[in-house]
Amino acid sequence: MRKRVGLTGLLHHLNPDVKGVFVGEGYTSALAKAGVLPLVIPYLYEEDEIHALAENLDGLVLTGGEDVDPTRFGEEPLPGLGEVSPERDDLEYRLVRAFMERDKPILGICRGMQVLNAALGGTLWQDLSRQKKRVLQHRQNAPRWHLSHHVFVYEGTRLASILGSSEIKVNSFHHQAVKDVAPGFIVSAVSADGVIEAFESREHRFILGVQWHPENLWRKHPLFYSLFSAFVDAVQQSC
């Protein structure tokens, strides 16, 4: 039977009376191609539902989206903070813990990386351009598949072995980023301005976060498919 990977998504309001989950097709198609069954995770809040999700799914992908509520990592909201989704923060924080307890693979993309870090005791830049000096433009004005800035991958990291390269170019659609890395994690890649662009756990089977959007790149730049296939390899190996 195919292994099952759950994806979190945006709580999208179609109109004031109708809301539901939105997950970009780039994520689900990459996972299906890599050989697992991608399943969109509904907005459920009961503790037994969270644990049933973690029991029944073999891996978790935290997708891109809104900002993380800074009061969740011990800061007051500052000017420059964007839209926050309390429902999504709540759901994803609890899913991260439930999957981690079971040592099931987690891949965090953009907001997903930030949520992972905040949920596990790290902090975030609420708005890079207001808080950090001399930063690059991390919100590119170009198609989603365009590679806009360089990223330097640290030797000896899992990310380096996945990508097989120490310098790559990535797309960039973020204004927040990891500031203090959560305990047990190491930085795997940075951009030229020192912004953390990827990190990974040293203590788990597979927990990796990237700040860019491989789901918008893999069709045009096959190198980025390797992130999904490496994650799926870890999922396939788990029992």
Site residues, Mn ion (CB under 5 A): 138, 172
Closest distance to Mn ion from the beta carbon of 174 (Å): 6
Encoding tokens for residue 185? 């994690």
Q: Has 213 been annotated as catalytic?
A: yes
The one catalytic residue in 138, 174, 175, 213 is 213
The one catalytic residue in 66, 110, 149, 174 is 110
Encoding tokens for residue 40? 């969109």
Helix, coil or strand: residue 17: coil
DSSP state of 67: B
- Please identify, using beta-carbon distances, which residue of 4 and 169 lies nearer to Mn ion: 169
Closest residue (Cβ) to Mn ion? 172
Closest distance to Mn ion from the beta carbon of 235 (Å): 26
What's the farthest any 2 CA atoms get from each other in the chain?
50
- Please identify, using beta-carbon distances, which residue of 123 and 172 lies nearer to Mn ion: 172
Q: Which residue has the tokens 């029991």?
A: 55
Provide the edge-to-edge strand list for the sheet that holds 207-210.
37-40, 4-7, 59-62, 106-109, 207-210, 196-201, 185-190, 149-153, 167-170
Q: Has 239 been annotated as catalytic?
A: no
The one catalytic residue in 66, 92, 200, 215 is 215
- Please identify, using beta-carbon distances, which residue of 138 and 158 lies nearer to Mn ion: 138
Catalytically active residues are 110, 213, 215
